[in-house]
């Protein structure tokens, strides 16, 4: 029985038990405490906790889940997977223990011909909470299970709570006995892999308080509305029904495993245990990555993107350990797509986008592995030869910072070699490095060469940066690279990297973007597109050859765009002022976590846990502009790091400092920071700081944005023009504009309410005509009409319910449609007699929505669908009539 068929049988069964079928929520949850949907209950938490009234009394779903807390167990056990699907049936104050147990037993043991899963009762065991006499008695009386196969267990296994005050209750778990070949006898109480938990029934019946631990709390009393929360692992049911040993061998996962084995020239199950584990890791992680990409997650260095990147890179490394050096994702992801598309058609429809991310990530990481693995392997050899058991934190940091080698991968490789990593030292070094900015810079470099290409140029010495005092510097071309490869010349129209001995052009760092400018020499001119430091001490210019041809050894003059540089200096110095103003206003704990400075614009990220009030923003802006007005001197001193720290200079987030540093003072100690950027000579040169935005950029981090100098003035001038236009149009003095606009908004809202009331009244007036339009389709009366344009979905739903009520107790289906802003909406309602004949509103609405090029669904009695093809509305309504006719034939 295929996995998709098992899922459909589950949904069909519970739909017949009057459950609303709910589509899977996204893997990306709205819960701020979670990165992903980690369990089937997550989307229902608001209903289970009573925070939000449930829209239906009972529901069933197949929920996509991602869980990575036990990622190290993937491939080693039969049931651990990062992506899994949870079958769930839910009751919100409707049925309770008796029906939950009856439903579960019926579905599991009913014959396949009757829609069941046909488990043999002799293979099933049940556990209940040791004090739950009611559940024990129900299992004993509702099922043929003998007493010895109903085991009582404690709170640690058979009691559910969140670990917080709120709902809780006992649970009952159903296990499948795989037989004596898989372990010892004795049932689930033995905690042996022989007994696979397939279904957990949670009886949410108590309210708890004074929670001391997940299993130590006080019960206040029973909940006013008792809930049922169940979860049955789809992958676990699949591997049992398909007669295989684990979830990796099921029909949705095995194709990727087999392809990985073929690419590696391995025989799964016939060679080493380590190879089998690696193949299972690949199969699981490729599928998990595909599903995360389908739900909008993309690889990155933080949050959900980091988890995805880690999963993908574990798959790549596992293929490397299996002996495959080249790219495999184009094949593996296609195989996973084909295995999953029956259950999730979106992975096929959106595959071009999904595969592009996957393939790009693999290409990037293969380059990272090639550069970092050789260094790490050498470090491992040296450590072991020297009798050591630990890799230094500085070595791990070098791999991470210079080569982008993930720390978790370093930890895994070290562990495989019998070594540990000095993680404490690594973490300390990470505090001195802004890894996020490093990653972004690498991503923007495009054609920047592999670092090995710079070795010979760096061996000639450091590039001398003269831009602190000069805007033009004469030098010599030391190196030329085109598409990452060294060459002796670059011709007109080509994009190249140019290395010179000296440069006046500032390389992007410390939040300040690279200079704009030119490189000129005899017979050629180069437009500078970017300036970076690809390796420490070396500056590389990405250029377009606009005139002539540049060759190795040619004279070269670097020329800075003076106006752009000055505007960038204004922004960078303004950033220091804003930082000082924030610390003056909020306190010393508000420290910088990031910044960006470019001509006319600055943004500043800082540690703070709440939004700034308008008054606080104004105060920060005033302090910064007062510093501009005071014409403070900006001085720069070069000194040792110890001297700078002794002077009170701030070592900022993301900067990497050597023994010698530049300390920038503005107004003496008022603003004193270590900074390698360029600045104006006095604060008055900034002109104006205009804070234009403030927002959250993550947990406990805020961001302010400002326009600086002429850009700030232009923005204020634009606002002044808007205010003037409003004042003229509304014939209202400027100081009274806010009051006048509020009055107009209130008047407009009142008018909209009146219009809506008139429209609703007009729709209600059509009630008799709609009732008279009912036609007999077999024994069912059907109304299928379009109401034209403009009606709201709520009004259409209300009218459809009124029409249904007027049609009486005989079987009736009402489908009313409207069009708004080019989108068609269809509302379908059915009465009890129609539903008894198998006519569910949700199915009818879904079918109509498909004709309209959209989606839909809902409860059996009321449902809604729609789409963008409004012209197909007549066909959609005709389709509902045809579906009724077919169902009643």
| 73 and 148 co-located in one domain | yes
Domain boundary among 188, 210, 244: 244
| 260 and 397 co-located in one domain | yes
Query: CATH code at 501?
Result: 2.40.30.130
Domain boundary among 430, 453, 477: 430
- Binding site feature residues for Zn(2+): 572, 576, 675, 679
741, containing H or E segment:
helix 737-764
User: Quick one: tokens of 68?
Assistant: 């990575």
Count of positions (residues) in the chain: 889
| 219 and 263 co-located in one domain | no
| 685 and 796 co-located in one domain | no
> If you ran DSSP here, which 8-state letter would residue 247 be given?
G
The count of C-alpha atoms lying within 13 angstroms of the C-alpha of 34, restricted to the half-sphere facing its C-beta, is 19
| 183 and 261 co-located in one domain | no
Residue 292 clears pLDDT 90, i.e. is over it: yes
pLDDT (tens digit per residue) in 746-774? 999 998 888 877 777 777 788 888 888 99
Distance CA 65, CA 292 (A): 10
Burial of 539-567, coded b for 16+ CB within 10 Å and e otherwise, reads bbbbbebeebebbeebebbbbbbeebbbb
- Across the chain, how many H-helices and E-strands are there? 27, 34
Distance CA 393, CA 870 (A): 63
CA distance to 641, 654, 668, per residue, from 646 (Å): 9, 20, 14
Q: What is the pLDDT of residue 473?
A: 96
CA distance to 2, 718, 731, 740, 743, per residue, from 725 (Å): 67, 11, 10, 14, 18
Does a structural domain hold residue 26? yes
- Cβ 706 vs Cβ 578: under 8 Å: yes
Distance CA 696, CA 609 (A): 9
Give which of 64, 66, 174 is closest to 125, Cα–Cα: 174
User: Quick one: tokens of 170?
Assistant: 């006992």
Query: What is the DSSP secondary-structure string of 411-461?
Result: HHHHHHTT-EE-HHHHHHHHTT--HHHHHHHHHHTTTPPPGGGGHHHHTT-
Would you state the torsion angle of the CA atoms of residues 400, 404, 405, 406, taken in this order, to the nearest 10 degrees?
80
Give CA angle at 346 (797, 34), nearest 5°.
80
Residue 568 clears pLDDT 80, i.e. is over it: yes
Which is it for strands 420-421 and 390-391: parallel, antiparallel or unpaired? Answer: parallel
pLDDT (tens digit per residue) in 153-212? 998 899 988 777 778 899 999 999 999 998 899 999 998 889 999 999 999 999 888 888
Would you state the torsion angle of the CA atoms of residues 798, 799, 801, 803, taken in this order, to the nearest 10 degrees?
170
| 614 and 552 co-located in one domain | no
Task: Write down the mean pLDDT value for the chain.
Answer: 88
Give which of 497, 488, 510, 511 is closest to 539, Cα–Cα: 497
- Cβ 847 vs Cβ 875: under 8 Å: no
| Coil, helix or strand at residue 840 | coil
- Binding site feature residues: 572, 576, 675, 679
Domain count, the chain: 5
Q: Which domain holds residue 202?
A: 3-244
Give which of 562, 481, 478, 558 is closest to 526, Cα–Cα: 558
Q: What percent of the chain has pLDDT over 90?
A: 57
Query: What is the DSSP secondary-structure string of 671-723?
Result: EEEE--S---SBGGGG--EEEEEEEE-STTEEEEEEEETHHHHHHHHHHHHHH
Does a structural domain hold residue 659? yes
Q: What are phi and psi of 262, to 5 degrees?
A: -65, -45
Distance CA 35, CA 39 (A): 12
Does a structural domain hold residue 726? no
Confidence class for position 598, pLDDT limits 50, 70, 90? very high
Does a structural domain hold residue 643? yes
| Coil, helix or strand at residue 588 | coil
| Coil, helix or strand at residue 100 | helix
Query: CATH code at 128?
Result: 3.30.930.10
Does a structural domain hold residue 743? no
| 194 and 70 co-located in one domain | yes
| 823 and 836 co-located in one domain | yes
Confidence class for position 651, pLDDT limits 50, 70, 90? low
Burial of 39-64, coded b for 16+ CB within 10 Å and e otherwise, reads bbbbbbbebbebeeebebebbbbbbb
Q: What percent of the chain has pLDDT over 70?
A: 94
Residue range 342-364: mean pLDDT, rounded: 88
| 535 and 488 co-located in one domain | yes
Residue 578 clears pLDDT 50, i.e. is over it: yes
Residue 305 clears pLDDT 80, i.e. is over it: yes
Q: What is the largest CA-CA distance in the chain?
A: 98
429: β partners = none
User: Quick one: tokens of 655?
Assistant: 């900067």
495: β partners = 544
Distance CA 864, CA 612 (A): 42
Q: What is the pLDDT of residue 88?
A: 95
pLDDT (tens digit per residue) in 522-560? 999 999 999 998 877 889 999 999 999 999 999 999 999
Distance CA 247, CA 7 (A): 15
Domain boundary among 537, 560, 583: 560
| 396 and 468 co-located in one domain | no
Does a structural domain hold residue 570? yes
Query: CATH code at 635?
Result: 3.30.980.10
Region of poorest pLDDT, from 429-433, 464-468, 782-786, 821-825: 429-433
Residue 653 clears pLDDT 60, i.e. is over it: no
Q: Which residue has tokens 């970076």?
A: 532
Residue 120's contacts (CB-CB under 8 Å, 6 or more residues apart) are: 109
| 162 and 237 co-located in one domain | yes
Q: What are phi and psi of 54, to 5 degrees?
A: -70, 140
Query: CATH code at 858?
Result: 3.10.310.40
Which pTM value belongs to this model?
0.50
- Cβ 509 vs Cβ 529: under 8 Å: no
Does a structural domain hold residue 154? yes
User: Quick one: tokens of 323?
Assistant: 């002996």
Confidence class for position 433, pLDDT limits 50, 70, 90? low
Confidence class for position 225, pLDDT limits 50, 70, 90? confident
- Cβ 260 vs Cβ 319: under 8 Å: yes
| 389 and 449 co-located in one domain | no
User: Quick one: tokens of 496?
Assistant: 């190249």
Does a structural domain hold residue 399? yes
């Amino acid at each position: 029985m295929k996995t998709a068929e098992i899922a459909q049988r589950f949904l069909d069964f519970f739909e017949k038990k009057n459950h609303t079928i709910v589509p899977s929520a996204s893997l990306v949850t709205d819960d701020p405490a979670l990165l992903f949907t980690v369990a089937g209950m997550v989307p229902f938490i608001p209903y289970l906790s009573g925070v939000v009234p449930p829209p239906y009394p009972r529901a069933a779903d197949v929920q996509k889940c991602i869980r990575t807390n036990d990622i190290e167990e993937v491939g080693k056990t039969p049931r651990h997977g990062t992506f899994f699907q949870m079958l769930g049936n839910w009751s919100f104050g409707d049925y309770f223990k008796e029906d939950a147990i009856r439903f579960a037993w019926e579905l599991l043991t009913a014959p396949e011909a009757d829609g069941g899963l046909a488990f043999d009762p002799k293979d099933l065991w049940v556990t209940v909470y040791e004090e739950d006499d009611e559940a024990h008695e129900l299992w004993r009386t509702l099922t043929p299970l003998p007493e010895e196969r109903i085991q009582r267990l404690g709170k640690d296994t058979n009691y559910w709570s969140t670990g917080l005050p709120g709902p809780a209750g006992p649970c009952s778990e159903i296990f499948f006995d795989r037989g004596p070949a898989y372990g010892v006898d004795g049932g689930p109480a033995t905690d042996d892999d022989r007994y696979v938990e397939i279904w957990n029934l949670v009886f949410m019946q108590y309210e708890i308080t004074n929670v001391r631990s997940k299993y130590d709390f006080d019960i206040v009393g029973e909940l006013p509305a008792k809930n049922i929360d169940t979860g049955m692992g789809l992958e676990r049911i699949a591997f049992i029904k398909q007669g295989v040993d684990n979830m990796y061998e099921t029909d949705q996962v095995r194709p990727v495993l087999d392809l990985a084995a073929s690419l590696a020239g391995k025989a799964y199950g016939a060679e080493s245990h380590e190879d089998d584990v690696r193949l299972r890791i690949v199969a699981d992680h490729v599928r998990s990555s595909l599903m995360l990409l389908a739900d909008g997650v993309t690889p990155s260095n933080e949050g959900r993107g980091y988890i995805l990147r880690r999963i993908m890179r574990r798959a790549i490394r596992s293929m490397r350990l299996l002996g495959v050096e080249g790219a495999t994702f184009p094949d593996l992801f296609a195989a996973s797509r084909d295995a999953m598309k029956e259950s999730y058609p979106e992975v096929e429809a959106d595959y071009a986008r999904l595969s592009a991310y996957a393939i790009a990530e693999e290409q990037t990481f293969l380059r990272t592995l090639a550069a970092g693995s050789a260094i790490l392997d050498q470090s491992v050899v040296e450590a072991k030869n020297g009798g050591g058991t630990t890799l230094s934190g500085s070595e791990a940091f070098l791999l991470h910072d210079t080569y982008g080698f993930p720390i978790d991968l370093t930890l895994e490789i070290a562990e495989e070699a019998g070594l540990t990593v000095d993680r404490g030292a690594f973490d300390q070094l990470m505090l001195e490095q802004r890894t996020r900015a490093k990653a972004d810079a690498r991503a923007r470099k495009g054609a920047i060469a592999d670092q090995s290409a710079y070795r010979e140029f760096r061996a000639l010495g450091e590039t001398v940066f003269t831009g602190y005092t000069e805007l033009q510097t004469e030098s010599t071309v030391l190196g030329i690279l085109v598409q990452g490869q060294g060459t002796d010349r670059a011709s007109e129209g080509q994009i190249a990297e140019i290395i010179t001995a000296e440069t006046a052009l500032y390389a992007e760092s410390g939040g300040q973007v690279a200079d704009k400018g030119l490189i000129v020499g005899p017979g050629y001119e180069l437009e500078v597109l970017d300036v970076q430091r690809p390796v420490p001490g070396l500056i590389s210019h990405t250029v377009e050859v606009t005139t002539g041809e540049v060759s190795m050894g040619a004279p070269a003059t670097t020329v800075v765009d003076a106006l752009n540089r000055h505007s960038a200096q204004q922004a960078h110095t303004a950033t220091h002022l804003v930082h000082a103003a924030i610390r003056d206003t909020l306190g010393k704990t508000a420290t910088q976590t990031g910044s960006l400075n470019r001509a006319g614009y600055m943004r500043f990220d800082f540690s703070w846990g709440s939004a700034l009030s308008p008054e606080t923003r104004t105060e920060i802006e005033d302090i910064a502009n007062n510093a501009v007005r005071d014409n403070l001197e900006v001085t720069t001193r070069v000194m040792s790091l110890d001297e700078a720290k002794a002077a009170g200079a701030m070592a900022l987030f993301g900067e990497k400092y050597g023994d010698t540093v530049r300390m920038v003072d503005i107004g003496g100690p008022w603003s004193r920071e270590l900074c390698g950027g360029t600045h104006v000579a006095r604060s008055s040169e900034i002109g104006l700081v205009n804070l234009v935005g403030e927002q959250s950029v993550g947990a406990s981090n805020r961001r302010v944005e400002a326009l600086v100098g002429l850009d700030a003035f232009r923005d204020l001038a634009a606002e002044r023009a808007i205010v003037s236009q409003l004042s003229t149009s509304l014939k209202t003095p400027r100081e009274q504009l806010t009051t006048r606009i509020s009055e107009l908004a209130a008047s407009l809202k009142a008018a909209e309410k009146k219009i809506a009331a008139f429209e609703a009244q007009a729709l209600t007036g059509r009630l008799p005509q709609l009732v008279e339009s009912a036609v007999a389709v077999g024994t069912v009366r059907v109304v299928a009409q379009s109401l034209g344009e403009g009606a709201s979905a709520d009004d259409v739903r209300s009218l459809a319910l009124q029409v249904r009520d007027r049609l009486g107790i005989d079987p009736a289906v009402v489908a009313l449609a409207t069009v708004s802003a080019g989108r068609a909406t269809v509302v379908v309602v059915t009465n009890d007699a129609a539903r008894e004949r198998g006519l569910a509103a949700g199915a009818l609405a879904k079918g109509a929505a498909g004709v309209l090029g959209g989606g839909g669904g809902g409860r059996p009695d009321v449902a809604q669908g729609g789409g963008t093809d409004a012209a197909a509305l007549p066909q959609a309504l005709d389709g509902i009539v045809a579906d009724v006719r077919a169902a009643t034939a």
